[in-house]
Amino acid sequence: MDKQYLKGCFQLKIWITGYKGMLGYDLVKTLSKDYELILTDKKQVNITNFNNVEELIKQHKIDVIINAAAYTDVDGSQTNKKIAYNVNAVGSKNLAIASKEHNIKLIHISTDYVFNGDKNNPYTEEDETDPINYYGETKLQGEKFIQENMSKYFIVRTQWLYGINGGNFVKTMLKLAESSNEINVVNDQFGCPTFTKDLAIAFRELITSEKYGLYNVTNSGECSWFDFAKLIFEIANVDVNLNPVLTFQYPTIAKRPKYSVLNNEKWMNEGFTPLRSFKDSLNEYMNLELNKC
Ligand SMILES: NC(=O)c1ccc[n+]([C@@H]2O[C@H](COP(=O)([O-])OP(=O)(O)OC[C@H]3O[C@@H](n4cnc5c(N)ncnc54)[C@H](OP(=O)(O)O)[C@@H]3O)[C@@H](O)[C@H]2O)c1
């Protein structure tokens, strides 16, 4: 094992980019007990600027970078192409080059949108990519830049994230139900909702691992957005008329995949802990959300 990662927990320094985001919030909560964290937002270190990245790395002796920074506006990426490419592709490349130069492990997050969604069983890491939209294209380019420039990386593809810190589908549904008792939700797009807290816990295992590579990591199970909404209202005990609709009845600027469940077998076969079912996670998340003062 690389001696660097045998250091006692507190001796490892982890830099989390985009720490104010939805996943960033849970990463900080999960890792701050055991590790020294360097936390930056866009104002402190803009990952599109290589000099900013280098300066931060030189200033602190970083062992691991977790890149939770991204341009995540999927529809916005169709029109703001330059920003999306710069953050998701160039930003990832900058972190990869700097990581390689300073012998740092890089943990990076990617998406199911690197696929076209035409499959009807879960995507593996070996499946051919074919991004469904421009955001997916930029995320795939980011993956490629990392793979071309370094070897000590983990790229984690995940999907349908929701968490305490940020706008998400669960909050949108509950908010909608306050003003309308007729809600339409698409029933022909399938994936697996994933709780950012569970993903952050999974990342803890990567900090000391050297089983580098590309992994799919999501909660377990699958559902349509309609099924997910139904479960949300059941748990919240909210009575609404929920109508299943088809994608063409709910057009979006960026296309969404019909089916993009991610197969987590590689993750489990390498000995990492499987994530719990999305239903269990949703129950915990909604308990937290509904009992917030
Ligand atoms: N959300 C999902 O459903 C989902 C699904 C699959 C994969 N992912 C991936 O998971 C990761 C985390 O997603 P998330 O939902 O937690 O994202 P998020 O809440 O949008 O957080 C992203 C963070 O990155 C920051 N950021 C943007 N541009 C930056 C730059 N140039 N330099 C430094 N920081 C910058 C943002 O800051 P500002 O807010 O100030 O711009 C924000 O704090 C991303 O890689 C995303 O692509 C997300």
Q: Atom of ligand 1 at shortest distance to CA of 165?
A: 19
Q: How far is the CA of 73 from the centre of ligand 1 (A)?
A: 9
Q: CA 63, CA 266: separation in Å to the nearest integer?
A: 25
Residue 121 near residue 262, CB atoms below 8 Å? no
- The pLDDT value given to residue 9: 58
Residue 74 near residue 135, CB atoms below 8 Å? yes
The pLDDT > 70 percentage for the chain reads 96
- The pLDDT value given to residue 10: 60
250 belongs to the catalytic site: no
Domains of the chain: 3-166+194-220+261-276 (3.40.50.720)
Residue 129 near residue 115, CB atoms below 8 Å? yes
Minimal-distance CA residue to ligand 1 atom 26: 69
Say which residue the tokens 């390689």 belong to. Answer: 100
Q: CA 102, CA 153: separation in Å to the nearest integer?
A: 13
Tell which one of 19, 42, 135, 146 to mutate to probe ligand 1, the residue whose CB is within 8 A of the most ligand atoms: 42
Question: What's the pLDDT tens digit per position in 88-138?
Answer: 999 999 999 999 999 999 999 999 999 999 999 999 999 999 999 999 999
Q: CA 86, CA 46: separation in Å to the nearest integer?
A: 10
Whether residue 75 has pLDDT greater than 70:
yes
Q: CA 4, CA 54: separation in Å to the nearest integer?
A: 20
Q: What is the DSSP letter of 220?
A: B
- The pLDDT value given to residue 292: 77
Residue ranges of E strands in 163-240: 182-186, 190-191, 194-195, 213-216, 223-224
Residue tagged active-site, from 135, 162, 215, 259: 135
Question: What's the pLDDT tens digit per position in 176-209?
Answer: 999 999 999 999 999 999 999 999 999 999 999 9
Q: How far is the CA of 178 from the centre of ligand 1 (A)?
A: 28
Site residues for ligand 1, CB cut-off 6 Å:
17-18, 20-24, 41-42, 46-48, 68-72, 87, 91, 109, 111, 139, 158-161, 166
Question: What's the pLDDT tens digit per position in 11-43?
Answer: 899 999 999 999 999 999 999 999 999 999 999
Q: How far is the CA of 160 from the centre of ligand 1 (A)?
A: 13
- The pLDDT value given to residue 98: 98
Q: What amino acid occupies position 70?
A: A
Q: What amino acid occupies position 276?
A: R
Q: Residue 101 forms beta bridges with which residues? A: none
